[in-house]
Amino acid sequence: MLDDAKIYEQYDPGDVYSLLYNFHEEFRLGREITESSDYMNIDSSGIGKIVVAGMGGSAIGADLLKCYALYELRKPLFVNRDYLLPGFVDDETLVILSSYSGNTEEMLSSLEAARYLGAKLFAITSDGQLTSFAEDLRFGYVQIPGGLPPRAALGYSFVPLTVLMSVWGFIPKQNEAIENTIYSLHKGAEKLAKDIPTSDNTAKKLAQKIYGKLPIIYSSPRLEAVATRFRGQISENGKALAYSSVLPEMNHNELVGWKNLYDFGKYIQPIFLRDPDDHPKNKFRMDFVAQVMKENGCEPIFLEPAELDAPFMTRMFELIQLGDFASYYLAILNKEDPKPVKIIDRLKAELGKL
Active site residues: 236, 252, 348
- Could you tell me which residues are beta bridge partners of residue 244? 217
Strand partners, 115: none
- What is the arrangement of strands in the sheet containing 120-125, beginning at the earlier edge strand? 77-80, 49-53, 93-99, 120-125, 140-143
The angle at the Cα of 232, spanning 286 to 176, to the nearest 5 degrees, equals 75
Q: Do 316 and 226 form a contact (C-beta atoms < 8 A)?
A: yes
CB atoms within 10 A of CB 147: 9
Give kind and range of the element (H or E) at residue 33: helix 24-35
What ranges in 138-267 are assigned the alpha helix state H?
Answer: 154-167, 175-192, 202-210, 224-236
User: Hey, how many other C-beta atoms are within 10 angstroms of the C-beta on 144?
Assistant: 24
Rounded Cα gap, residues 208 and 263, in angstroms: 21
